[in-house]
Amino acid sequence: SQQGEEDPQALSIQEGENATMNCSYKTSINNLQWYRQNSGRGLVHLILIRSNEREKHSGRLRVTLDTSKKSSSLLITASRAADTASYFCATSGTGANSKLTFGKGITLSVRP
């Protein structure tokens, strides 16, 4: 069953602009993660935010988590053409294992 749902499904911006992507989920989580996938390749982990954290930064990435609204956002600042990719949020449940449930993904296009 799909837990994370990303919004929008597709996003097209100009290089240098900021890109904001949203993810909503349904049940309690241990952590929420964002991954990037370049066309036809495997996924690469970007950032993880735990359920007791509200905001986290990594380079040009900023992730927020609102557990009361069961939502997260990923902000990419000063976007580059190389940021063009699909982005997925994934949630890890509160159980004993580290199984992830992925959303359907957001396609980001950054125009040079």
Partner 1 sequence: DVKVTQSSRYLVKRTGEKVFLECVQDMDHENMFWYRQDPGLGLRLIYFSYDVKMKEKGDIPEGYSVSREKKERFSLILESASTNQTSMYLCASNHPLKSGEQYFGPGTRLTVT
Query: Residues in the site for partner 1, rule: CB under 8 A?
Result: 1-2, 30-31, 33, 35, 40-45, 48, 88, 92, 97-105
Q: How far is the CB of 43 from partner 1 (least distance, A)?
A: 4
Pick from 69, 88, 75: nearest CA to 24: 69
Q: How far is the CB of 69 from partner 1 (least distance, A)?
A: 21
Nearer CB in complex with partner 1: 18/94: 94
Nearer CB in complex with partner 1: 44/81: 44
Q: How far is the CB of 4 from partner 1 (least distance, A)?
A: 8
Rounded to the nearest 5 percent, the helix, strand and coil shares of the chain are 5, 55, 40
Q: Which residues contact 49 (CB under 8 A, 6 or more apart)?
A: 31, 32, 33, 55, 56, 63, 64, 65, 72
In degrees and rounded to multiples of 5, residue 100 shows phi and psi of -110, 150
Nearer CB in complex with partner 1: 15/56: 56
